[in-house]
């Protein structure tokens, strides 16, 4: 294993734009939920005439679908990701619209037969209901409660209130309160393994909401503790949580 400073320098210099995780290959791993979101998404996209993908990132997951409906739109809030998504999806006829995460959707009522999202920042159920056609569906994979909190709390300490957020039952109740009928709700807890401290630095640079004030300088002691553990042959293990939710207007 490379020295601590070399691993950190690599991770600080690496690109973290978009929503791909190839840089972590052989440095970290994460189990995936058994349902296979990308495959299910592709099936649904192939069966409708219009679809909207929310918080698309750089369009990485959406691009895995072989076929898009005649009208395919995606939204994203972060400008570097907007640009990546347009580069990746524009040639396939996808309209990528920059929309702030907390803003109303700039689309007319009943505009889409399908609304999708993988890991939305915050599902705005009222807006999702509004832009869906009657009989249309929402299909998404969301981050669940206390996801990766073993790692987050290594830096921030115990977060009991935050651990209760993103509860799948509460999200389903909110969807129903907005007028949607939840037709499927599944949950998963998946093992995450970090093999070197560079992987930790990189993921905290990419997922900036995990440790919002993260910097190598501020958290050097915590990073060095992880580095010592990993050099002793003990990878750092955390767990991601996910839920699959489908609803009908």
> Cα separation of 117 and 105, whole Å?
14
Read off the pLDDT of residues 106-131 as tens digits, 9 standing for 90 and up.
999 999 999 999 999 999 999 999 99
Kindly report, residue by residue over 162-219, the tens digit of the pLDDT: 999 999 999 999 999 999 999 999 999 999 999 999 999 999 999 999 999 999 999 9
Domain ranges of the chain: 4-248
C-beta contacts of 91-97 below 8 A and 24+ residues apart: 92/63, 92/68, 93/68, 94/59, 94/62, 94/68, 96/56, 96/59, 97/73
At 7-44, the pLDDT tens digits run: 999 999 999 987 789 999 999 999 999 999 999 999 99
pLDDT at 102: 87
Q: Percentage of the chain with pLDDT > 90?
A: 96
- pLDDT reported for residue 12: 97
Q: Are strands 181-194 and 28-30 parallel, antiparallel or unpaired?
A: antiparallel
Q: Please check whether residue 112 is in contact with residue 136, taking contact to mean a CB–CB distance below 8 angstroms.
A: yes
pLDDT digits (tens, 9 = 90+) for 56-103: 999 999 999 999 999 999 999 999 999 999 999 999 999 999 999 889
Q: Which residues contact 134 (CB under 8 A, 6 or more apart)?
A: 110, 249
Q: What φ, ψ does residue 116 adopt, rounded to 5°?
A: -130, 160
pLDDT at 18: 75
pLDDT of residue 7: 98
Mean pLDDT, the chain, whole residue set: 97
Q: Quick one: pLDDT at residue 174?
A: 98
* Locus of tokens 């734009």: 17
Cα angle, residue 85 at apex, residues 80 and 88 outer, rounded to 5°: 125
Domain 4-248 CATH assignment equals 3.40.50.150: yes
Question: What's the whole-model pTM score?
Answer: 0.93
Task: State residue 215's pLDDT score.
Answer: 98
Q: Which residue has the tokens 């299910």?
A: 40
Q: What is the pLDDT of residue 8?
A: 98
């Amino acid at each position: 294993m490379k020295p601590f400073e070399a691993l950190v320098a690599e991770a600080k210099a690496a690109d973290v734009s978009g929503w791909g995780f190839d840089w972590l290959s052989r440095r970290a791993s994460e189990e995936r939920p058994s349902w296979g979101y990308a495959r299910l998404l592709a099936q649904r996209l192939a069966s409708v005439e219009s679809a909207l993908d929310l918080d698309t990132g750089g369009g990485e997951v959406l691009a895995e679908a072989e076929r898009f409906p005649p009208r395919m739109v995606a939204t994203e809030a972060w400008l570097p990701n907007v640009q990546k998504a347009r580069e990746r999806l524009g040639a396939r006829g996808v309209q990528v619209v920059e929309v702030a995460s907390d803003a109303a959707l700039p689309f007319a009522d009943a505009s889409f037969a399908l609304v999708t999202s993988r890991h939305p920042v915050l599902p705005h159920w009222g807006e999702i209901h509004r832009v869906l056609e009657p009989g249309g569906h929402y299909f998404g994979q969301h981050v669940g409660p206390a996801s990766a909190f073993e790692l987050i709390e290594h830096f921030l300490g115990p977060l009991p209130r935050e651990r209760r957020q993103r509860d799948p039952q509460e999200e389903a109740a909110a969807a129903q309160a907005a007028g949607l009928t939840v037709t499927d709700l599944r949950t998963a807890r998946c093992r995450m393994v970090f093999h070197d401290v560079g992987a930790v630095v990189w993921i905290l640079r990419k997922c900036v909401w995990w440790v919002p004030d993260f910097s190598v300088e501020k958290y050097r002691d915590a990073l060095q503790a992880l580095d010592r553990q990993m050099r002793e042959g003990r990878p750092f293990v955390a767990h991601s949580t996910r839920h699959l939710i489908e609803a009908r207007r």
